[in-house]
Structure 1
Amino acid sequence: MLQESRAFSGIAVKDIDEAREFYGTALGLRVEDGQMGMLVLRLGGDRPVLLYPKPDHVPATYTVLNFPVRDVEAAVAALTDQGVVFEKYEGTQVATDEHGVFRGGGPLIAWFTDPSGNVLSVVEGDGLG
């Protein structure tokens, strides 16, 4: 039953207009108006991700959405040009370089946050292994 379902993810944001601007303009994603004041991101293959307003939103401390890319360094450069700020981690298992790219094993990955503090990433390859 569920294996045939068209499952989708939902991410809470504190301000829906801020989210529309960030996801649509800075990230260049297709953003549509959804029901009840929500937004729908249309990702590759037309997979939806629901963004819903939650005024008392507290961001998760983990990555909520990963964007697989062919070239992390190119993606970081392009997104930086759009005003996206990449996280810089030092002295941890996920220490990043000066551009925010983790090179400590596995696929190259760089983390950033949306205006609500939700952690997102660009990850080289399919990101699954």
Structure 2
Amino acid sequence: MFAQAQAFSGFSVDDLGEARRFYGETLGLPVEETGQGDMRVLSLTLGGGARVFVYPKETHTPATFTILNFPVDDIDTAVAELERRGVPLERYAEFEHDEKGVVRGGGDGPAAIAWFTDPAGNVLSVLQENREN
């Protein structure tokens, strides 16, 4: 029934203007703002054309899990660019991070991953897949 549906995901933020600047200017994603007044929303276009709906929520609580993963060819370059753009990485006690804030793994998961947050506190990541996957 839903196999052919053009499904999309969404998440909330506490400040739509800050989200527009972060996703559009800092991360460089195409961002479209639509609606009027209190009904304004953002549509982010991801690589491959997928879209994500971002809406303001007065009682927003940041997602404590990763809401968007950005696969990259070279995580060190991506992390350096995030740092250059003023985006700090998150460090979680349950993972062993290198000096850059990257968790390097292997096995069945990504070769490397680093987390950061948007201005609303939602968790995002850059990750480099294992070459064998």
TM-score by length of 2: 0.88
Please give the alpha-carbon distance, in whole angstroms, between the structure 2 residues aligned to 1:110 and 1:66.
Answer: 10
Identity between Structure 1 and Structure 2 (%): 55
Q: Which amino acid aligns with 1:25?
A: E
Please give the alpha-carbon distance, in whole angstroms, between the structure 2 residues aligned to 1:42 and 1:114.
Answer: 16
Indicate the residue corresponding to 1:6 in structure 2. Answer: 6
Please give the alpha-carbon distance, in whole angstroms, between the structure 1 residues aligned to 2:97 and 2:51.
Answer: 30
Greater radius of gyration (CA) = 2
For 1:114, which of 118, 124, 129 is the aligned residue? 118
Runs of 5+ in structure 1 lacking a partner? none
Please give the alpha-carbon distance, in whole angstroms, between the structure 1 residues aligned to 2:61 and 2:99.
Answer: 28
Indicate the residue corresponding to 1:104 in structure 2. Answer: 105
TM-score by length of 1: 0.90
Mapping for residues 1-129 of structure 1, pairs under 5 Å:
1-35=1-35, 36-90=39-93, 92=94, 94-105=95-106, 106-107=109-110, 108-125=112-129
Runs of 5+ in structure 2 lacking a partner? none
Is the CA contact (8 Å cut-off) linking 1:89 and 1:100 kept in structure 2? no
Runs of 4+ aligned residues of structure 1 deviating over 6 Å after TM superposition are: none
Shift of 1:95: 2.1
RMSD of aligned Cα (Å): 1.5
Shift of 1:72: 0.8
Shift of 1:117: 0.5
Please give the alpha-carbon distance, in whole angstroms, between the structure 1 residues aligned to 2:5 and 2:101.
Answer: 36
Shift of 1:118: 0.2
